[in-house]
Structure formats: structure tokens, C-alpha cells
Amino acid sequence: MAIEPIESLMNKIMNRYDGQPIGWNVLTDYKGNMLILGPKEGYRLKMVSINPTKNTGVGTRIDNSHEIQSLVKEAPSWGFRPLSTTQTKELLNSYSQGEKFNGFISKILKTKPISTPELKKKKPKVVLSGPFIGYPDLSTISKRQRELELKLKIEAEKLFRNEYPYRATIYR
């Protein structure tokens, strides 16, 4: 199991997503953990927030993601879905109308996600990304996930201390 910084790992994940944008799911929890499940592989990330728009951390490819796939088998694929101006207005106008909003989101999520190069070609004004599946605590999925979380937490802390030593002494 190779643990690497999320900056390089995210590039690999996005390249794989761009090659096959359908069949991805993303689970997150409140502790900075992320589980990214692709159609053929999975990744586990541990992030440390630097500020509201920047994270650091580490992650690894998980060998047998099929055991976890059962958690998300009915969920819509995560991905990027461009919205037209009409769809954007309809989405914003339906927000306060519960069932109409849910129906509209459901309709959008049934469309196929597209790759980032395709997004660049289309140049949409609005892109819906997601869904991100909120999970209370990813370590409760299995014993293996608990063990992996502990390893990643240790490595993420080391990386944080090396990259941001002054912040690390304040917050840790």
C-alpha cells in the first residue's frame, strides 16, 4: 500500500475519472476522510484543512473496493454535469419548493457525468458536481477501513507538520 500526498493522488484520480466519467461515487465524513470509488478502483484520503479553500493530506489506492461498492450501488454516479441557463434558473427557482426541487435534482443526476476535457470544450456557465455522500464515520464501514484511517491520519499529520510547521504548533 503506497501512501502519497493528495495533491499527486488527486491528479491520478482525475485522470482516471476523465477516462471513464461514469460509475464514480464519493463518500465523505466529518473527520476529513474521503472514500472515492471508481468503476474499477477505489481510493481512501485523509485531508487536513489549511483554510476554507485549501487542504493537504494523504491517500492511498485501496485494492478491494468491491466490498464497499455495495454501500453505493443504488446511488447516482458522482461527476460533473453542465447546466444550461434554463436548468440553472429552474434549479434556483425550485429550491424552496421541496418536492419540485428534489424531482429536478433527481432528473439532473440521471444525466451522465462528463469528463473535465469535455467540460472545457462546452464551457458551461454552471456545473453541478456531486453527489457527495455524507457518511457519519467512514471508519465504521469495516475493520480494514478503521486500520487504514489510523495509518492515513498518522501520515497526514506528519505531512501537515512538515509543510506547515507554524500552523501545526498552533493547532496540534
Helix (H) or strand (E) holding 79: strand 79-83
My answer on whether 57 and 120 are in the same domain is no
What length is written for the chain? 172
Does one domain contain both 66 and 136? yes
Q: Which of 33, 40, 13 is nearest to 146 (CA)?
A: 33
Domain count for the chain, please give it.
2
pLDDT digits (tens, 9 = 90+) for 121-162: 999 999 999 999 998 899 888 888 899 999 999 999 999 989
Co-location of 63 and 145 in the same domain = yes
Integer Cα distance of 103 and 107 in angstroms: 6
Query: What domain range includes position 117?
Result: 79-130
Query: Do 114 and 67 fall into the same domain?
Result: no
CB-neighbour burial class of residue 59 (10 A; exposed 0-12, middle 13-18, buried 19+): buried
The ranges of the chain with pLDDT < 70 are: 64-65, 168-169, 171-172
Report residue 83 as a C-alpha cell: 447546466
65 and 135 together in one domain? yes
Identify the pLDDT of residue 97: 77
Both 73 and 152 in a single domain? yes
pTM (predicted TM-score)? 0.87
Q: What is the pLDDT of residue 168?
A: 66
- Percentages helix, strand, coil for the chain, rounded to the nearest 5? 45, 25, 25
The answer to whether residues 10 and 73 belong to one domain is: yes
Alpha helices by DSSP H, listed for 125-164, are 143-163
Amino acid 72: pLDDT? 86
How much is the pLDDT for 172?
A: 55
What integer pLDDT is reported at residue 79 of this predicted model?
A: 97
